[in-house]
Every structure is written in structure tokens, then in C-alpha cells.
């Protein structure tokens, strides 16, 4: 993509001020790191990190047919959530390949917000328009929406100093409209790191106010601005899928570990294909048993033959070992090799895909 086509989020100036190393990502100029990926990763696990996620896309769905539209679009059951609740789900093509994975925010039965991946905004919105037989009102509000994520064990305490709203009362996968440092914000207890935290949506003109307020409130708590590098290593440790790597149009929710997001009691695009075509591959977690790092695209070798592919891989700063996700045949052994740089086969063993799971707070 040419430089002229690269977009900047409302937080670009703040990234530069904090010495963020800017790189092109999904058509945006984004910080890959500030102090360093490992330091930022561990700050999120131990205290808190501040992420600019304004490159994500948002679509408003309104009207009497809003619920019917969303239900047809996604594999999960939108009827099981109520006002101010969120739902994670893939949306599929007719052949059950994944168009994207998204978050559904239910304002009420006639108003939803869908949050989609940055690299898929145009494709997704076109898909939604094409499959809008019920004439719901669709509006791409991505350019009208700034988004920050505050993640980590100190995230709630930091944000609580900036609002009179009771953030503790917002449960995981719920949201509330609040006032934060004088700005009206949609505060959602969701994230992409495996930690507790919030994602905040608000108009772009308030970007500087909200960013500075959070940075100042978190300065004594160990909060660090956090770039794409740590965002990726954090989500990999937590076993969270990345569209374009772990899931795409060539994989289904049954091949990825996303069966829990599919409700076959509902009607949705791709349901018939999911029911009729059993998966012939499976996404699994693995760790390397030798000193090496697996990367996206490395072949999986079983009995001397290439039989799968690594979708995500890297070194875990917290666990201090090399981990990854890979598609392998459904009938696969517990150990296999990863072919690194075409000439070396490194021993790996299958393990759970959630490499890290935070401990729940103890209730006194």
C-alpha cells in the first residue's frame, strides 16, 4: 500500500510523543512498540497497558429488523444477550468459511453496534449490505469512533479514578455509557489480552483528553502505552484467534476452537455447510521442545511429511518458552515437528491453545 493511502488514528500525535515506533498495519500507521515488546507485555500482565485500537471498524445496525439481521449474519445466538450485553461470534460465508470474527453490542432490540477487524472493514460492510434482505439500517461509523483499550490487573482501579460510574458493576462482556474525564464514553468490559480491562469508544475529537487522563492516572500504577507487538504476544498467550492468521475464509468455526460460538438452533449464513461437512483439520496449541521460535507459515511435519501449517507463533515473555497455534489433521499425534527456515525440523508437542489464563480474584 502506498504511503498516501496510510491512515492515522486520532492518537497519532500521542504515539509520537511517547516515542512509539510507527509501522504500517492494515492500512494504518500504528505503534509496534514504545519501550519494548517484552516490557510492555509484562506491564499488561502485572499492572496495565494502554492500547490504541481505533483502527478497528464499527458498524451501527438499527431498525425494527436489527435483531433479525444480526442473527442471520452471525453463528452465535443474539437472542441470548440483553440490553448492554456483548457477544463474540464469527460470521461465515455460505460454505462456512469465516468472513470475520466480531463483537456484537446490544444497545436494545433495535440498535446494535458490530465491531470488526481493521483489515476487513470494507469487505465486511459490503458483505453485510449484500445480506441485508430485511432492510435493517446499516451505517459504517468507523471514522466517527475512537477506541482505546486499558488492560491488566490495575486497569479497573486506574479508570475508576476518572469516573463516578461504578466500573466494578460492569461485568465481563457487558458495557455501559459513562462519563470519563468529562467525555461520554461507551465502556465495555472486554479485551484482547486475556486480562481484565475495558475497551472505550468515544468521538475522535476527545482523543487527547481521554488519552492524557488515562496516562496521568496510570503513571503511578505502572501503566504503559502498549504497541502491536505486545498486543500480538498477549493474545497468543491467551489463545485468542487473529483473523488472517488463525481463522479466515479457508477455515470454519468447527476447525478452529470456536464451536462454542455456534448455535445450531438458530438460522445463519453457512449453517447448512457446517452441518454437512465435518472438519478435516483442527487448530491446536503447541510448544517447542527445542530452542527455536515458530512463525506464521512454518510447515507442520508429521512422519516426515508436511501435514499442516503454523498460523501464529512466538516467544512467550511470561512463560519463557516458544508457543504457537497450528492446523493439523483431525487424526494427529501428540508430538510433531515444525519446519523452520526450510531446513530444520524442530520437535513440538501439542498442548492446550490457552497457554495463559489469569487467576480470578478471590472473593473475601
279, 330 Cβ separation under 8 angstroms: yes
pLDDT of 362 over the 50 cut: no
197, 249 Cβ separation under 8 angstroms: no
- The phi and psi torsions of 260 (rounded to 5 degrees) equal -65, -15
* CATH of span 57-137: 3.30.70.1400
pLDDT confidence of 341, banded at 50, 70, 90? confident
Domain ranges of the chain: 3-54+145-237, 57-137, 280-351
182, 229 Cβ separation under 8 angstroms: no
* CATH of span 3-54+145-237: 3.30.1360.120
pLDDT of 257 over the 60 cut: yes
Residue ranges of E strands in the chain:
7-8, 21-25, 28-33, 49-52, 57-62, 85-92, 98-108, 111-116, 137-140, 146-151, 175-180, 183-188, 197-202, 224-225, 281-288, 299-302, 305-316, 321-329, 335-340, 344-351
pLDDT confidence of 4, banded at 50, 70, 90? low
Residue 104 DSSP SS3: strand
Which residues, in sequence order, are bridge partners of residue 347? 337
pLDDT confidence of 359, banded at 50, 70, 90? confident
pLDDT more than 90, % of the chain: 96
Q: β-pairing, 111-116 with 49-52?
A: unpaired
Q: What is the mean pLDDT of residues 47-67?
A: 98
pLDDT, greater one: 349 or 4: 349
Can you identify the CATH homologous superfamily of domain 280-351? Aminomethyltransferase beta-barrel domains (2.40.30.110)
For residue 33, give the C-alpha cell: 512498540
Examine domains 3-54+145-237 and 57-137 and report if their fold is the same: no
Q: What is the mean pLDDT of residues 81-100?
A: 98
252, 96 Cβ separation under 8 angstroms: yes
pLDDT at residue 295, rounded to an integer: 97
pLDDT at residue 361, rounded to an integer: 61
CA–CA dist 220, 83 (Å, integer): 36
Amino acid at each position: 500500500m502506498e504511503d498516501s493511502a496510510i491512515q492515522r488514528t486520532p492518537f497519532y500525535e500521542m504515539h509520537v510523543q511517547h516515542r512509539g515506533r510507527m509501522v504500517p498495519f492494515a492500512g494504518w500507521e500504528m505503534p509496534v512498540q514504545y519501550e519494548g515488546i517484552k516490557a510492555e507485555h509484562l506491564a499488561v500482565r502485572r499492572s496495565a497497558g494502554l492500547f490504541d485500537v481505533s483502527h478497528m471498524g464499527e458498524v451501527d445496525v438499527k431498525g425494527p429488523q436489527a435483531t433479525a439481521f444480526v442473527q442471520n449474519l452471525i453463528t452465535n445466538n443474539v437472542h441470548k444477550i440483553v440490553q448492554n450485553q456483548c457477544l463474540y461470534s464469527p460470521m461465515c460465508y455460505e460454505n462456512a468459511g469465516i468472513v470475520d470474527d466480531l463483537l456484537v453490542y446490544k444497545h436494545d432490540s433495535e440498535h446494535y453496534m458490530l465491531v470488526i477487524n481493521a483489515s476487513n472493514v470494507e469487505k465486511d460492510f459490503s458483505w453485510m449490505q449484500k445480506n441485508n434482505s430485511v432492510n435493517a439500517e446499516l451505517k459504517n461509523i468507523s471514522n466517527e469512533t475512537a477506541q482505546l483499550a486499558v488492560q491488566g490487573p490495575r486497569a479497573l482501579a486506574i479508570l475508576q479514578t476518572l469516573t463516578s460510574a461504578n466500573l466494578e458493576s460492569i461485568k465481563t462482556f457487558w458495557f455501559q455509557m459513562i462519563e470519563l474525564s468529562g467525555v461520554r464514553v461507551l465502556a465495555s468490559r472486554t479485551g484482547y489480552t486475556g486480562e481484565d480491562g475495558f475497551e472505550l469508544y468515544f468521538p475522535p475529537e476527545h482523543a487527547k483528553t481521554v488519552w492524557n487522563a488515562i496516562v496521568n492516572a496510570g503513571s503511578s500504577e505502572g501503566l504503559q502505552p502498549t504497541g502491536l507487538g505486545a498486543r500480538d504476544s498477549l493474545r497468543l498467550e491467551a489463545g485468542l484467534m487473529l483473523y488472517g492468521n488463525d481463522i479466515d475464509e479457508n477455515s470454519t468455526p468447527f476447525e478452529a476452537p470456536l464451536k462454542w460460538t455456534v448455535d445450531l438452533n438458530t438460522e445463519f449464513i453457512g449453517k447448512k455447510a457446517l452441518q454437512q461437512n465435518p472438519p478435516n483439520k483442527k487448530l491446536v496449541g503447541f510448544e517447542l521442545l527445542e530452542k527455536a521460535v515458530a512463525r506464521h507459515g512454518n510447515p507442520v511435519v508429521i512422519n516426515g511429511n508436511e501435514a499442516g501449517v503454523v498460523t501464529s507463533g512466538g516467544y512467550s515473555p511470561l512463560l519463557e518458552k516458544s508457543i504457537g497455534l497450528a492446523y493439523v489433521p483431525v487424526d494427529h499425534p501428540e508430538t510433531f515437528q515444525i519446519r523452520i527456515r526450510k531446513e530444520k525440523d524442530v520437535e513440538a508437542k501439542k498442548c492446550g491453545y490457552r497457554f495463559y489464563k489469569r487467576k480470578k480474584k478471590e472473593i473475601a
